Each structure stands twice: as structure tokens, then as C-alpha cells.
Amino acid sequence: MSTRPSDMPATITDSSSVPRSIPRSSTLSLTPSTSGSRDSGLAEGLLSDLLKLYDEWSNRDQIFLNVKDRFSGIRILRQDPWENLVSFICSSNNNIARISKMVQNLCKAFSPSLLTLQDPGATTLNNYHPFPSPAVLAKPEVSSILRGLGFGYRAEFVQKTAQMLVDAHGDASETWLRNLRLQSTDCARRELLKFMGVGRKVADCVLLMSLDKKAYRVNNKQQKEVIPCDTHVHQIAVKHYGVKGSFGKTTMTPKLYEEINTKLVRVWGDYAGWAHSVLFTSDLKSFASYGTSAESTPVIPKRKRARNTQDEIPQLPTPPAMPAESIGKSFNASINAMPLDTSGLDTTSGVKRRRIRG
């Protein structure tokens, strides 16, 4: 949980990094102001532009059109760069639920409780902790503590990255990260790739979701599209967009990464990274029925067929048991009682003869 007001989602702080729908002299705050009509107008402008983007992506891509109404709430939040960087370092060979749990445990272990609130929809109380600074996570003992929290090999990545930041930029580490928003996409990516545990995909996630690449323009120049690619995105590209490959695990080579990026940018155009986030979410198994009738319709489990008891099954009368000796005698008696047709056979002298045809 980040507590820095300047980095809250949807809050614009840099006059040089404003979306195209907002005048450079304006800022949009989540806090209601006395000029409610002005804030309302700015919000309407943002929504209008987003609706236009959804329409544009839908016109360009039938797959997007099929899911856009169900996932109209997906947003790029402009998250705090430091918190986002650590979170995506934790994402290596991991799943969303475990990543979230790891980040929560990290906050609890390295920062004091900020406040306690009742969990929405429940009676339990939750303690909320701010995200620890790079200086806190740079300490040598951090990696062993994180390993104890289940971070595995990612523990060293987090501690080393924090240490690299602090060694290079000291108390201004987080400010330096935020200022990457003012750099070109390629320059910002090169800086991120220097950190431990940061590859192309992790770097691109931070670029897209925290550093305004390509959420905003920089110095009125269009930024290069950023689409984070992993095996999941590769499978989407293979399934829907004609990228060659199999549906199994595939090694993400630099060549394949660029191929997927080029293809998806060609499909969606401007703000392709935003469109990618919608398709990525729609393809998750946990959202398979989201926004459909199946989600609201309770699933009634099929009743198992009750096993019939002996009292419920009609029983045939059981014949009385016969001794084995009696069974043999009865069988012989039955055989002996059968008429034997000896016509056409010469039975004299016990020698069998051929049948004599008349």
C-alpha cells in the first residue's frame, strides 16, 4: 500500500507529463475541490478519450470487441515506480495471488502499521502498512528475512536492487525513479534493466504501469508503444493474432518478444499497452465468467444418485442350497432321461459305423 499522495493513481503531478485530454496548466486531483464543475469537466474529458480508444480498438480488432463491455473497468493506474518495480521482481515464475501475498508480507515485516480498518463486507479488521523505502530494503539482513517469508531466490533480487538504488542515488532514489518518466522509453528501459531480477518483461511492466510509457507524451513527442510480453501474452498472440508458435511453454527470445510487440501494435495502434491489459485480464481463468450470466447464476451441484439399499431392490427368491453330491446325481439323471436318436447308426459290437445313406 503506497501512502504517497503525489503518486496516487490518476493523480497528475508533472506539468510536462499530462494526458492529451488535459491542458498543460491543469492537474486532476482525487480530492474534491470547490471548483466542482472544473473537475467534472476534466474527468469527463478523460472518460471521453478512453471511450474513443475503446471504440478504436474495437473497430480494429474483433477479439477486443467481444470482451470490451465485460472489462470496461480495466485501467492503467500510474502506480508508484518503486513499489511497482519490487512487485514485478516478485512476479518471476509466480502467480497473482502469491505475488500479492508476498508484497503484503513484505510491507508488514519492514514498515510500521499505518492504520486499521474494517475489511469491506466483513467484520474483521485489517492493519495497513506503507510500502518500505529503498533504504529500508537495502540492508544486508533483508534477503534472509525475505527468504523466511517465502520469497525464494527473489529475496536477493529485491535487496540487491534496493542497494543499487541507494548506493547510486541515496535519499533521492525514489525521485530518480519517478524522473524516468521524463526520459525516452528506450533510455528508461536501459536504466531499469541494470537492476537485479529485471528483464525485458519486468522493465516494460514498470514502463507501462508507472512511468507513463506510453500513457502520456513527453515534451509533446509520441512515445514508443510498450507491451509487456510473457508466455501468457505469447499464447494470446498465437491463439488470436496469427503469431507462430505452440500453446505450451515457450522461451521468450528477444526476437520473439519484438515480433509479438510489432504484431499487437499493428493490431491496436495507439495506446496498445492499454488494450493489451484488457485482453490479458479477459484471458485469465479467474475472470472466465466475469460479466456473464454464468457469474450471477448460482451453480447447483448435481445430486449424486443414491445407492439403493437391499431393502429398495426387489429380491428374487433364493433356491434352497443343494449338496454337491446331489447336484451331480441330478445332472446325471437329467442327461440319462434325454431321448437318444440312434437311427442310422449300427450299434452292434460297440463299433461305430458310417451312416448308411438310403
CA distances from 161 to 85, 136, 326 (A): 9, 12, 92
What is d(CA 85, CA 198) in angstroms, rounded to the nearest whole number?
A: 9
Q: What residues are paired with 221 via a beta bridge?
A: 218
Element (H, E) at 176: helix 173-178
CA gap 328, 315 in Å, rounded: 28
String of DSSP letters for 252-319: --HHHHHHHHHHHHHHH-TTHHHHHHHHHHHTSGGGTTTTSHHHHSPP-PPPPPPPPPTTTSPPPPPP
201 catalytic? Reply is yes
Single-letter amino acid, residue 228: P
Given the residues 201, 239, 244, 304, select the one marked as catalytic. Answer: 201
Q: Looking at the annotation, which residues are catalytic?
A: 201
